[in-house]
């Protein structure tokens, strides 16, 4: 099937960012098709209505109203099965392994820029577009695409985009990266009369009610949530925990154990069903191993690479050196110790405002 370079499928979540993305691209002359991805699992109507983000029925209604306002075609496509497999089950499995996953990164990787792109091509569209705050540029000298941080520093979303391939970037548009603030985006939406112009940003994982990850996993796979031992860093038993899925590295609140001092989760051991507690200094580390590493425009090399590395979405990138290992694995050594290096989370690599790539933290090096 031949693809039309003037046709773009916009993933419309019902939020203001994707709505303004659709408006901008239509204004630029693109033939825009709006698509909302139906990803929510089976639930009753009230639960769907109350679900946040792109999972609720209200999100579909908001996206449809914006599409009507823009006079563009709009479709709701069923992505439930692949979302269940690639995002929800992955989320559960990672917690069972004693890790803390980032399902939004998995959604970007497997749903928005893989499956949605495939379906866009089936519609004859050359591009997909989203409301991410990031900039995609083409370097004619190297003939490669690159991703740069958004002009809106407080909204930059490049941390969740490190899995991109060159092929995907060639077919992706992100027009919001050049905006200086979210207020500019909301102003455009208000001027266009969009119903979602001042809709609050979603802060929670869309399929987890009340941000209660442990209860979500207990409800789906109760047999894996078993009580176990709290131990200290020497292995001494301190008490009993509710199940490792309820804890994450660096956690202090909600431990429900009195030790006469502030204690923090410093390690989770799924093989022995133990949660290790320690002092604040035990939470810090200067080295980690990253697996499943992807570079967007660099080739793998055996030489160390100086970068700024970021270990969670809201963290500040810090000076580090990458030491290549086998099988898409990297050792990351920070100039200064980092708090709560958490297996399952992403570590993402930058040079200035340029996103190099990233990987999944598999362990903290002791």
Give the contacts of 166 (CB within 8 A, at least 6 positions apart).
144, 145, 296, 297
DSSP annotation of 171: T
Is 306 known to sit in a ligand binding site?
A: no
| pLDDT score, position 57 | 67
Q: Break the chain into its structural domains and give their ranges.
A: 4-192, 226-278, 284-365
106 in Cβ contact with 234 (< 8 Å): no
Per-residue pLDDT of the chain (366 residues; tens, 9 = 90+): 689 999 999 999 999 999 999 999 999 999 999 999 998 765 544 444 444 455 566 789 999 999 999 999 999 999 999 999 999 999 999 999 999 999 999 999 999 999 999 999 999 999 999 999 999 999 999 999 999 999 988 899 999 999 999 999 999 999 999 999 999 999 999 999 999 999 988 766 788 877 788 888 988 888 888 999 999 999 999 999 999 999 999 999 999 999 999 999 999 999 999 999 999 999 999 999 999 999 998 876 789 999 999 999 989 999 999 999 998 999 999 999 999 999 999 999 999 999 999 999 999 997
CATH number of 226-278: 2.30.30
Residue identified by tokens 């991109």 is 164
| pLDDT score, position 133 | 97
Beta bridge partners of 289: 331, 363
Pairing of strands 354-364, 284-295: antiparallel
> What long-range pairs does 116-120 form, CB within 8 A, spacing at least 24?
116/9, 116/11, 116/35, 116/37, 116/77, 116/79, 117/168, 117/171, 117/172, 119/9, 119/35, 119/77, 120/8, 120/9, 120/33, 120/35, 120/171
CATH number of 284-365: 2.40.30.10
Beta bridge partners of 11: 35
Q: Is this structure's pTM higher than 0.85?
A: yes
Tokens, residue 72: 């563009």
Give the integer Cα–Cα distance in Å for 343 and 101: 8
Is 2 known to sit in a ligand binding site?
A: no
Q: How would you list the strands of the sheet with 228-231, edge to edge?
A: 237-241, 228-231, 274-278, 264-269
Is 14 known to sit in a ligand binding site?
A: yes
Q: Which uninterrupted H or E stretch holds 310?
A: strand 305-310
| pLDDT score, position 42 | 56
Give CA 133 to chain center in angstroms.
Answer: 13
Domain 4-192 has CATH 3.40.50.2000: no
Give the integer Cα–Cα distance in Å for 257 and 97: 23
Give the integer Cα–Cα distance in Å for 193 and 187: 10
Is 11 known to sit in a ligand binding site?
A: yes
Crossing angle (nearest 10°) for helices 89-96 and 213-220? 100
Give the contacts of 210 (CB within 8 A, at least 6 positions apart).
204
Give the integer Cα–Cα distance in Å for 346 and 294: 11
| pLDDT score, position 301 | 73
Residue identified by tokens 């102003």 is 187
Pairing of strands 305-310, 274-278: unpaired
104 assigned to active site: no
Give the integer Cα–Cα distance in Å for 98 and 345: 12
Is 131 known to sit in a ligand binding site?
A: yes
Q: What is the maximal distance between C-alpha atoms in the chain? A: 68
Q: Which of 54, 55, 104, 107 is catalytic?
A: 107
107 assigned to active site: yes
Is 60 known to sit in a ligand binding site?
A: no
102 in helix, strand or coil? coil
Closest CA to 35 of 82, 74, 87: 74
Crossing angle (nearest 10°) for helices 16-27 and 57-70? 20
């Amino acid at each position: 099937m031949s693809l039309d370079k003037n046709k773009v499928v916009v993933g419309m979540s019902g939020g203001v960012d994707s709505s303004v993305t659709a408006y901008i691209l239509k204004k630029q002359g693109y033939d825009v098709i709006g698509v909302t991805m139906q990803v929510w699992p089976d639930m009753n109507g009230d639960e769907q209505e109350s679900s946040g983000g792109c999972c609720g029925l209200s999100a579909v209604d908001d996206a449809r109203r914006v599409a009507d306002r823009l006079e563009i075609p709009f479709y709701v496509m069923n992505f439930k099965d692949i979302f269940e497999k690639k995002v929800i089950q992955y989320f559960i499995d990672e917690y069972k392994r004693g890790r803390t996953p980032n399902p939004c990164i998995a959604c970007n990787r497997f749903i928005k820029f893989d499956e949605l792109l495939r379906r866009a091509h089936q519609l004859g569209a050359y591009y997909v577009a989203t409301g991410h705050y990031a900039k995609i540029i083409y370097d004619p000298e190297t003939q490669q695409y690159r991703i740069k941080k958004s002009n809106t520093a407080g909204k930059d979303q490049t941390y969740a985009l490190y899995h991109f391939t060159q092929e995907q970037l060639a077919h992706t548009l992100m027009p919001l990266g050049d905006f200086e603030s979210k207020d500019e985006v909301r102003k455009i939406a208000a001027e266009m009369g969009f119903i979602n112009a001042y809709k609050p940003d979603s802060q929670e994982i869309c399929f987890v009610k009340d941000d209660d990850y442990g209860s979500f996993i207990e409800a789906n796979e109760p047999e894996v949530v078993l009580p176990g031992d709290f131990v200290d860093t020497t292995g001494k038993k301190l008490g009993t925990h509710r199940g490792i899925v309820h804890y994450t590295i660096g956690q202090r609140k909600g431990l429900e154990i009195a030790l006469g001092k502030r204690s923090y989760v410093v390690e989770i051991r799924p093989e022995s069903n133990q949660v290790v507690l320690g002092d604040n200094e035990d939470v810090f580390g200067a080295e980690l191993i990253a697996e499943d590493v992807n570079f967007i425009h660099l080739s793998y090399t055996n030489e160390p690479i100086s970068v700024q590395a970021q270990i969670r979405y809201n963290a500040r990138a810090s000076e580090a050196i990458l030491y290549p290992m086998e099988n898409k694995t990297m050792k990351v050594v920070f100039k200064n110790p980092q708090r709560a290096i958490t297996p399952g989370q992403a570590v993402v690599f930058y040079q200035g405002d340029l996103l190099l790539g990233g990987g999944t933290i598999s362990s903290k090096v002791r």
